[in-house]
Structure 1
Amino acid sequence: MAANPLEELLKVPDEESESNLDELLESVRRHLNMEVAFLSEITDGKRIFRYVSADSGRQEIPIRGHGDECEKTYCKRILDGVLPPIIRDTQENAITASLPVTEELGIGSYAGVPVYLKDNRVYGTLCCYDSSPAEYLSDRDLGFLHVVAATIGQLMRKKVERDERIAESTHRIKSVAETNNLQLRFQPVVDADNSQVLFYETLARFNSSPYRPPNEWIDEAESVGLGIYIESLILLKALEHLALAEESQLLVKLSLNVSPNLMLNGNLFALLEGIDPNALVLEITEHTEIDDYSVFARKLQPLVDKGLEIAIDDVGSGFASLRHIIELEPDIIKLDMNLIRAIEGDTKRQALVAALVAFAESSEIQTVAEGVETQAELDTLKGLGVSNFQGYFFARPEEFSTIIERAKATSRGG
């Protein structure tokens, strides 16, 4: 199997647009007629350049993301009140004249003010400097910097809060990957006579205190850009179970819920490298739209050619799943459990299921009714032509070890 690509998926991209801050720094620099403007963050004893705007002719430019010890910087001294916020000529100030950074960056004049988050917590500094003295700098310019710094503080507060939320969520999600808090259960999909298991659907279970249902974990992961990561983690664990079955020379087929995004970003194919496609059914979820079906189908075709089956999940819950059926020509459609619940007493839902079954039969697509819990539901669905079933009426989700032991007993004729 290919090397584990999950670590790359933990690198969450910043969703905030950076153009506003870049443009704001450019305006500040031009307004003060100085060569460089930057926003720094003070963290863990370091001053880090987060945003930089510089004149195109300037050679010594701060490197964005570069950090220096605070004690070596103007920023720390301005925050501590050791340096004034405006230094018109750095050579006339004994402190700045002696600091190595003055020569390293070619600082002739400087202006800087603190940037505060809420509760007066310091984020860093908003600073400008030029290679030449700037005797024209005034209290009015200082007031302008304070106003801009207050605006930036509001912008950065939202970004910091988002970053902290991402960090907390990433830690929780990563802890799942590194511990045994994520476990899988498997629920069979059976034929009409309950005599044959077509495949087992893979279901995630997150052990946490307090307990949170799987959809909340997945929603949290998606909200911070880690939806593909958690999907990949579940898929990897499922493939480990398949490998156990293969070692025991047992044929077990699993279905895996995957989003279109997981397929389109290429990570799916890396994860499935070396896996027998005949042992898998990929269930395409309803919840993510596919922008370009032709691209999606083209990426999927090599696996389909090798025997991979495609199922459309949650059919009947929304428009996306119906379009998936038309565009992707699946092998299986799975009728949403909300369509199945107490269907024996609902003629409208019966008519919808009958229409979906007729369409499936004409297209040589198998149907699976999800969430079957009662004999009345089963009898009604059979009468409507549904051919396969899944739900508590047949079996609850179980551990893979139970499936393996049952398969071994069957192979021994036990």
Structure 2
Amino acid sequence: MAQSPSNRSVPLSLDAALLGSRVLVVDDEPDNVVLFEHMLATVGLTEVYGLQDAPRTMEVIRERSIDLVLLDLSMPGMDGYEVLDMVRSAQDPEDFLPVLVLTADPTSSARDAALHAGANDFLTRPVDMAEALLRIQNLLRIRRLHVVTAARNQELQAELSARAAAAKRRSKARRVRRALIDTILADNRLRMVFQPIMTVDEGTIVGVEALARIAHDPRRPPDVWFDEAEDVGLGLELELAAVRGALQELEHMGEGFMSINVSPRVARTTAFASVLREVDGNRIVVELTEHTRVHDESILQIELDDIRSLGVRLAVDDAGAGYAGLQRILGLSPDIVKLDIALIRGIDTDPARRALATAFVAFTDEIGAVLIAEGIETDAELETLRSLGVPWAQGYRLGRPGPLPHLRG
């Protein structure tokens, strides 16, 4: 039997986000459907669908993407309890579809039975319009929150899946990169070449710098290979392999020193110190590279006392390249300072570069260090350095890197 809602005034305004909600009224009385259509239209809900054929409830829910079901419990054929059981059995467990049941039975047992069967709220006929709209709004808000939360969870899950896939790809790529370094070490793909370091005045060789070359595809500069090794956890192994390869040649080079490049991290290790103890430390210069950043040069200086006690001299490069280079010099008290190639390039035509180089000549004299100019490529650069009093130099103008025999030739 159709029943009209009470006429109590309804000062209710739905949230804007709820106005597009779709409501299904399952009731065997068409007049009741019309009444709810009018009631819901007063607050802006216009997508209201009526259904008298209760067994089709789940079908319509899916077809119309229903957000709320208003369900009459007392219907012939399939009653509201059976409809509730069908809906709750068929819906996605992750979904939240609110069902508000309607009945003329005002008893608490009727309410409890409906809630136990799966209803989310309960209204007694005749329906109070204000109460009905308030309960409908509350259920639609919960539905909206659930939809938004589920969508956000899906986004988060997709993001987590993407991150996991990316991490898996990175892990695989890292294994491939590590395998390359392992192959270089196992197959002895590392060879050493040597560049002469000469006196600027007389052009005599005072030492050499040992430089690594790696014969393996893909073809890359040595510093890229060393950075790669560090990144995959084999930096120490590759650096020590280069050091051993260089020191094997020490007995074949006659007089002079050999400068070897290592990162501060490797220079601190007992493994490196053990390698140096196998040779005459007085003929070794350790040049610190920039594979890893040094946070406190004064602490590093203390840690390097062990190898310096063997007679090993310490060199720092990039002098003149900025504040960081000067900070390293002041913190480490090196025996040798190497002028950065950027300062040498075009020094014969640039008064500012000449002035800075002159200052370094005086500075190294004051601290008892030797100054080496790197990257000499022209006669004009060499002559300028000679006039400024720079004692030692290296670069393509003086000798390209190669095997030790070319130095004697």
TM-score by length of 2: 0.58
- Alpha-carbon distance between aligned partners in 1 of 2:336 and 2:182, rounded to the nearest angstrom: 33
Displacement of 1:245: 2.6
Q: For residue 158 of structure 1, what is the aligned residue in structure 2?
A: 166
| Structure 1 ranges of 4+ moved more than 4 A | 145-152
| 1:286–1:314 CA contact under 8 A, matched in 2 | no
Paired residue for 2:180, among 172, 180, 188? 172
Match of 1:224 among 226, 229, 232: 232
> Shift in Å at residue 371 of structure 1?
0.8
Structure 2: runs of 5 or more not aligned: 1-150
2:357 is matched with: 353
How has the CA–CA distance of structure 1 residues 162 and 210 changed in structure 2, closer, same or farther, with 3 Å as cutoff? Answer: closer
Matched, 1:388 2:392: yes
Looking at structure 2, the residues matched to 215 and 291 of structure 1 have their Cα atoms a distance apart, in angstroms, of 21
**Unmatched 5+ stretches in structure 1:** 1-142, 410-414
Tell me: CA distance 1:222–1:194, structure 2 relative to 1, closer, same or farther (3 Å).
Answer: farther
Does structure 2 retain, via aligned residues, the 8 Å contact 1:182–1:207?
Answer: yes
Further displaced range: 256-265 or 183-192: 256-265
Q: What does residue 276 of structure 1 align with?
A: 280
Q: State the 1:401 CA deviation.
A: 4.2
Matched AA of 1:381: L
What fraction of aligned residue pairs are identical, expressed as a percent?
A: 37
- Give, in whole Å, the separation in 1 of the partners of 2:323 and 2:289: 12
Q: What one-letter code is carried by the residue in structure 2 that aligns with 1:312?
A: V
* Superimposed CA distance per residue, residues 354-391 of structure 1 (whole angstroms, 9 cap, x where no aligned partner): 11111111111111011111110011111122110101
2:146 alignment partner in structure 1: none
Contact 2:206 2:256 in 1 (8 A): no
**Secondary structure in 2 aligned to 1:343?**
coil
Deviation at 1:178, TM superposition (A): 2.0
Q: Which residue of 2 aligns with 1:285?
A: 289
1: distance between equivalents of 2:155 and 2:221? 46
Q: Does the residue aligned with 1:344 lie in a helix, a strand or coil?
A: coil
The aligned residue for residue 248 of structure 2 is 240
- CA distance in structure 2 between the partners assigned to 1:253 and 1:363 by the alignment: 21
Within a 5 Å distance, the mapping from 1:77-92 to structure 2 comes to none
Shift of 1:278: 0.9
Instruction: Report Cα offsets for 1:118-154 as digits up to 9, x if no partner.
Output: xxxxxxxxxxxxxxxxxxxxxxxxx9x9998766533
Query: In structure 2, what is the equivalent of residue 320 of structure 1?
Result: 324
Distance 2:171 2:332 in 1: 38
Q: CA deviation at 1:279?
A: 1.9
Residue 227 to residue 194, structure 1, CA distance change in 2 (3 Å): farther
Matched residue, 2:298: 294
TM-score by length of 1: 0.57
Cα 1:347–1:327 change in 2 (3 A) is same
Distance 2:167 2:386 in 1: 54
Aligned counterpart in structure 2 of residue 185 of structure 1, from 190, 193, 196: 193
Output aligned runs, 1:64-79, within 5 Å.
none
Partner of 2:98: none
RMSD: 2.8
CA 1:160/1:273 → structure 2, altered by over 3 Å: closer, same or farther? farther
Cα deviation, 1:25-49, whole Å, max 9, x if unaligned, reads: xxxxxxxxxxxxxxxxxxxxxxxxx
Within the candidate set 198, 201, 207, 1:199 is matched to 207
- Give the Cα–Cα distance (whole angstroms) in 1 for the partners of residues 198 and 387 of structure 2: 17
**Larger Rg, first or second structure (1 or 2):** 2
**Equivalent-residue separation in structure 2 for 1:322 and 1:182 (angstroms):** 33
Give 1:329's aligned amino acid.
S
Deviation by residue 1:390-414 (Cα, 9 ceiling, x = unmatched): 01111111113444xx3xx9xxxxx
SS in structure 2 at match of 1:156: helix
Contact 2:184/2:216 (CA < 8 Å) preserved in 1?
A: no
Deviations 1:78-134 (A, max 9, x none): xxxxxxxxxxxxxxxxxxxxxxxxxxxxxxxxxxxxxxxxxxxxxxxxxxxxxxxxx
Residue number in structure 1 paired with 2:338:
334
Distance 1:271 1:154, change over 3 A: farther
Counterpart residue type for residue 295 of structure 1: I
Query: What amino acid does structure 1 have at the position aligned with 2:394?
Result: Q
How has the CA–CA distance of structure 1 residues 323 and 148 changed in structure 2, closer, same or farther, with 3 Å as cutoff?
A: closer
SS in 2 for 1:359: helix
- Aligned-residue offset at 1:329: 1.0
1:190 alignment partner AA:
M
